[in-house]
């Protein structure tokens, strides 16, 4: 199939923050051959490329003078299955949540806590998506990538992906490797993680004391839908800031000043603080500057009420960062990828 390269394409429908910037060139690829051809086309013309999945983790702050490659590779394939595990290969262009639902319907567990995270399979390892105490790395066996430097495909084990909190090799060496597919190893006997974010309490209130993975998935969807705005209704890019990690000493001082501060002690003794709590306490919740705003119910989420630019969203974020630094001595790091 030949490539259809479009020019001057609005990216508004392709990013959940609904920022209206243009791509100089845009192409959808459905196969590895098309990907190679698109990369060669850009190389020949000395044009940079940008890899696009579902656009749910981006702040597009200017028109992109590049070839945007929209990854549309499709397919789900069960490689092997025994009494304990199923090994499933999923192509990068599949939708994350749809795959989670498919896996649960087959009787495979492990991904239930990651229900309703927007975006594509291919982007999931980039920031090692996580929610309710589970991360994609927990059930990922390997990733097939196209390495643009070596100009060949390569299979990376979970260890080789160098996963960390909202981080990976793919994020650190951004743009070098195109993720083509993932092999998941999914347990058939579920080990549920219910203690994070009080999922157990939510299920108990529903009278569910011995939940199935599907019941956990439904609970996660309900809790998330109540807390986070749906990008289809109100444009946003999920959590705008990472939860900051500070020393035990710093956390102790903050606790003395703010006894209700939300914090989690880490394995290494450092303390993770809830960024949303800090921003909320500082009075930013619901604050609006033109069409850029802090969500009225969730201080961690910045929203676009209509025509905010990426720059306006980033200006609001910078003011929040400066205020949090001044009040608490804490640096907030932006979570989505800024394309500026
Ligand atoms: C309402 C909402 C809730 C969210 N909740 C969570 C959450 O609970 N936990 C969480 O971790 N995240 C969350 N996110 C963030 C987001 O959903 C994830 O980061 C998701 O994995 C992004 O997928 P995407 O396909 O939209 O990626 P995009 O936004 O299209 O791309 C993100 C980055 O990955 C790169 N990329 C995309 N595809 C590939 C590929 N195939 N190969 C190599 N690089 C690629 C892009 O170049 C870009 O740098 C949320 C977002 C929203 C809007």
Q: What is the pLDDT of residue 235?
A: 98
Q: Is 87 a catalytic residue?
A: no
Residue 332: pLDDT above 70?
yes
| Residue 221 falls inside a structural domain | no
| Residue 29 falls inside a structural domain | yes
The CATH number for 118's domain is 3.30.465.10
Q: What is the pLDDT of residue 48?
A: 97
**Partners of residue 76 on adjacent β-strands:** 90
44, 130: one domain: no
| Residue 90 falls inside a structural domain | yes
- pLDDT tens per residue, range 83-138: 999 999 999 999 999 999 999 999 999 999 999 999 999 999 999 999 999 999 99
Residue 198: pLDDT above 90?
no
330, 254: one domain: yes
The ligand 1 atom at the shortest distance from the C-alpha of residue 52 is 30
Q: Is 166 a catalytic residue?
A: yes
Residue 197: pLDDT above 80?
no
The ligand 1 atom at the shortest distance from the C-alpha of residue 177 is 43
Interval between CA 110 and ligand 1 midpoint (Å)? 19
Mark which of 51, 71, 91 sits at the end of a domain.
71
CA 324, chain centre distance (Å): 23
| Residue 48 falls inside a structural domain | yes
What is each CA distance from 238 to 48, 161, 175, 326, in whole angstroms?
A: 27, 24, 22, 25
Out of 120, 142, 239, 263, which one is annotated catalytic?
239
Q: Which residues line ligand 1 (CB under 6 A)?
A: 16, 51-58, 71, 92, 117-120, 122-124, 126-127, 129-131, 170, 174, 178-179, 228, 231, 236-238, 337
CA distance linking residue 328 with residue 32, whole number of Å: 48
| Of 192-206, 230-244, 292-306, minimum mean pLDDT range | 192-206
| Residue 216 falls inside a structural domain | no
If one residue of 126, 175, 298, 338 were mutated to test the ligand 1 pocket, choosing by the most ligand atoms within 8 A of its CB, it would be 126
Q: Please tell me the total count of domains within the chain.
A: 3
| Residue 123 falls inside a structural domain | yes
Mark which of 36, 71, 106 sits at the end of a domain.
71
CA distance linking residue 215 with residue 111, whole number of Å: 12
Mark which of 187, 208, 224 sits at the end of a domain.
187
- pLDDT tens per residue, range 148-184: 999 999 999 999 999 998 999 999 999 999 999 999 9
The number of CA neighbours under 13 Å toward the Cβ of 295 is 23
| Residue 207 falls inside a structural domain | no
Report the nearest-CA residue for atom 11 of ligand 1.
129
- pLDDT tens per residue, range 263-276: 999 989 999 999 99
145, 241: one domain: no
Owning domain of residue 45: 6-71
- pLDDT tens per residue, range 2-61: 899 999 999 999 999 999 999 999 999 999 999 999 999 999 999 999 999 999 999 999
Interval between CA 253 and ligand 1 midpoint (Å)? 35
Q: What is the pLDDT of residue 1?
A: 64
244, 176: one domain: no
- pLDDT tens per residue, range 68-78: 999 999 999 99
174, 267: one domain: no
């Amino acid at each position: 199939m030949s490539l259809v390269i479009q020019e001057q394409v609005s990216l508004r429908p392709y990013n959940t923050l609904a920022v209206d910037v243009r791509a100089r060139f845009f192409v959808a690829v459905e196969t590895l051959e098309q990907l190679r051809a698109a990369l060669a086309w850009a190389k020949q013309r000395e044009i940079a490329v940008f890899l696009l999945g579902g656009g749910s983790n981006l702040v597009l702050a200017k028109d992109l003078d590049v070839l945007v490659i929209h990854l549309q590779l499709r397919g789900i394939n069960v490689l092997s299955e025994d009494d304990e595990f199923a090994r499933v290969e999923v192509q990068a262009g599949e939708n994350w949540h749809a795959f989670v639902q498919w896996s649960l319907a087959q009787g495979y567990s492990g991904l239930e806590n990651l229900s309703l995270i927007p975006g594509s399979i291919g982007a999931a390892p980039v920031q090692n998506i996580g929610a309710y105490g589970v991360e994609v790395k927990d059930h990922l066996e390997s990733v097939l990538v196209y390495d643009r430097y070596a100009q060949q495909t390569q299979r990376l084990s979970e260890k080789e992906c160098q996963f960390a909190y909202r981080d990976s090799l793919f994020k650190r060496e951004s743009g070098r490797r195109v993720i083509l597919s993932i092999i998941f190893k999914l347990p058939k006997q579920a080990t549920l993680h219910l203690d994070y974010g009080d999922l157990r309490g939510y299920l108990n209130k529903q009278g569910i004391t011995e939940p199935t993975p599907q019941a956990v998935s439904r609970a996660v969807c309900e809790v998330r839908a109540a807390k986070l705005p749906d990008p289809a209704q109100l444009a946003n890019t999920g959590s705008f800031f990472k939860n900051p990690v500070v020393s035990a000493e710093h956390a102790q001082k903050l606790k003395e000043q703010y006894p209700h501060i939300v914090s989690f002690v880490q394995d290494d003794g450092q303390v993770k603080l809830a960024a949303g709590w800090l921003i909320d306490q500082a009075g930013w919740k619901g604050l609006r500057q033109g069409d850029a705003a802090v969500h009225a119910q969730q201080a961690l989420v910045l929203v676009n009420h209509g025509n905010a630019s990426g720059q306006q969203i980033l200006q609001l974020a910078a003011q929040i960062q400066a205020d949090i630094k001044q009040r608490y001595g804490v640096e907030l790091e932006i979570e989505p990828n800024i394309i500026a």
